[in-house]
Amino acid sequence: MILRILYRSVGSENSKNRPSFYSKQLALASLLRAVERVGIPTRIVFVNDGSIPADRLSLMSAAGEVVQVTCGSNRSSYRHVLRMPRLRRWAPDDLVWLAEDDYLYTERSLSALVSAAAARPDAEYFTLYSTVRFTEASTRRRPQVEQSDGSPSGVPLVDGVPWVRAATTTSTFGVRVGTLVQDERLLRSIPFVGGAFDRATCLTLQGMQPFRLADLGGEPPREQPPTAAGRIARRAALTGLRASLNAVALARPERRRRTMIVPEPSLATHMELGGALVPGHDWPAEAEAVAQWLREREEPLPARRAPEPAPSAAPLTPTMPAIASGMTTASPTPHRPSAA
C-alpha cells in the first residue's frame, strides 16, 4: 500500500474566523511533519489553484509533485482531484488522503490513518476530523446525529487509538483507491446540490437520506437571482437535484453502503473558531511544535571545516596541501517523500 496525498491549495485567503496561530504555511508544515512518521511509501501531489506564495511553494517543491491548475472554486478543484487516482492508474489498494490547505495535523495523525486502513478492512472511508456521530435512533430515512463527548468506551483500538464511526466530515478525508474509483461519479456529482455538500456526501455514501423535505428547495443564496423567474428556476433545480440524491442514497445496495471511521478524539482540526477546533487536544501547543519543526528545517546547516592533514615526519609533497585544502564533507540530506 502507498499513501497518496492530494493536497489542494490556493494562494488567497477568505474571511473565516481563524485562531491566532493560523497560517497556510503552518498547515502545510504540519502535514509534512506528520508524513515523516508514516511507515509506508508516501507520495504527495500539490494541486495549486492560482499563484502560491514563494515560501509555501518552496516547501511543496521539496516534498512532492506540484501541479498548477485553474479551477476558480473549491467545488471545481475538488471535482478535479477526484479524477486523478483513476487517470493516473493508482493501485486499488493504495490509500488516498484528500486534503484542503487549512488543517492542523498532529504528529501521529497520518501514521494512525495508515494503521487504521490496514487493520480495518471493513472501513472504506477515513477522516481525522469529525465530532459528529449517528444516534441510536437513526434510520436510513431519518438519520439523526449528535456531537461526540470525546470519551468512547468499548470501541476497537488500533495501535492504542480508538476508532469510531463518523456521521459526517468535510472535504478532507481518506479513501481506498478502489472505492474512490467506484464512487467517483457520485462524488463528482454531489457538489452541485449546493449548501454543505460535504455533509450530503458523507450521508449519501453511507446509504443515509441526506435531505429532509424542508431542505429540498435549498438555502437562500447570498445573492438572489435578479428576477422572480430566476429564483423559481433555481429552487426547482435544487429541489430536483436533492430529491434525486435522496433516491440514490436510499437505493444504494448494501455492498455499496460505505463506512467512515475517525479517531476519538480527532487527530487533526480545521483551523477555524466558533466550534470548528475539535476538543481533546491543545491545538495552540501543537501549532507551536509545528512552528518549531519548521524553524529547525529552515535554518541552514553550519559549514563543516575540512579535516586537518595528519602530522607526518616526512615533508608533504607539493600536491598534498592542495588536496587537503580542497577536501569537503557533504551535509546529510533529510529524507523527503518523492513525487508520484
Q: What is the pTM of this model?
A: 0.84
Question: What does the alpha-carbon distance between residue 47 and residue 189 come to, in Å, rounded to a whole number?
Answer: 20
Question: What does the alpha-carbon distance between residue 108 and residue 35 come to, in Å, rounded to a whole number?
Answer: 9
* Residues above pLDDT 70, as percent of the chain: 86
Distance from the Cα of residue 5 to its chain's centroid: 7
Summarised one tens digit per residue, pLDDT across range 138-172 is: 999 999 999 987 777 778 899 999 999 999 999 99
Summarised one tens digit per residue, pLDDT across range 284-339 is: 999 999 999 999 987 654 444 444 454 444 443 333 333 233 333 333 344 444 44
H/E stretch holding 68: strand 65-69
Give the pLDDT confidence score for residue 240 in this predicted structure.
94
Residue 46: what are its φ and ψ, rounded to 5°?
-95, 115
Summarised one tens digit per residue, pLDDT across range 21-53 is: 999 999 999 999 999 999 999 999 999 999 999
User: 169 near 163, Cβ under 8 Å?
Assistant: no
Residue 294: what are its φ and ψ, rounded to 5°?
-70, -40
Question: What does the alpha-carbon distance between residue 149 and residue 10 come to, in Å, rounded to a whole number?
Answer: 34
Domains (ranges, CATH) in the chain?
3-184+257-294 (3.90.550)
